[in-house]
Amino acid sequence: MSVLSAKVRLRRRAWFALWAAPLPIWFALFFMGPMLLLIAMSFWSVQNYRLTPDFSLSAWSYVLSLDFLWSTFWRSYGLSLISAALVSLLAFPASYAMAFLITPARRLTFLGLALAPFFTSYLVRIYSLQVFLGEGGVLPQLFHSVGLSGASLLNSYTALFLGHATLTLPVVLVLQTLALGNVDRTEMSAAVNLGARPQHVLRHIILPAAVRV
């Protein structure tokens, strides 16, 4: 009986060690492993309608020679940079307020509210934007009421940016709040006591310190 219980304990410890493995191990197992396999298969050749282990650059030369691939890549890259910059600017005032202007208890409450959208499927959030952006939706009706065009905003750069913001804004808000929350308050107080203006404190003290964090 004692031998059996010892085996059970060893098995439980092995399972616990497996689930408690460091994150890089799980990352390598479930992400890097399939990614390396996919890259290796990209060099295989097709023979009799089947992928055959080989080392051929034909697939890469064909894909990289497609003009629409590069135009799509650079357009997506540029739109991503613009969205990242706009989302960071939109999130910064709220992050600054949560880091410096409210109490820690309220900060946790607002951070929880910022993370609440992640409990809803991203597809549901994206499809719900049709209510606001589609023809006769909230935003087109609002624009029409002030004399602007009330056409549908779907399939536009505006809709694309809102889709990016829906996904990334809560993450940026939380990360900025954590970074600003670790800024040394003594440096800020010293700058204010020496007569620095708020915009100078923000540019020369807060932002560099937040980047270092």
Q: What is the pLDDT of residues 61-70, one digit of tens each?
A: 888 888 888 8
SS3 59: helix
Q: DSSP label at 89?
A: H
Q: Give 110 or 23, the one with higher predicted confidence.
A: 110
Q: What is the model's pTM?
A: 0.67
Q: How many CB atoms lie within 10 A of CB 135?
A: 12
CA–CA distance, 26 with 19 (Å, rounded to integer): 9
Per-residue pLDDT tens over the stretch 83-136: 999 999 999 888 888 888 888 888 888 888 888 888 888 788 888 888 888 777
Which residue type is seen at 84?
A
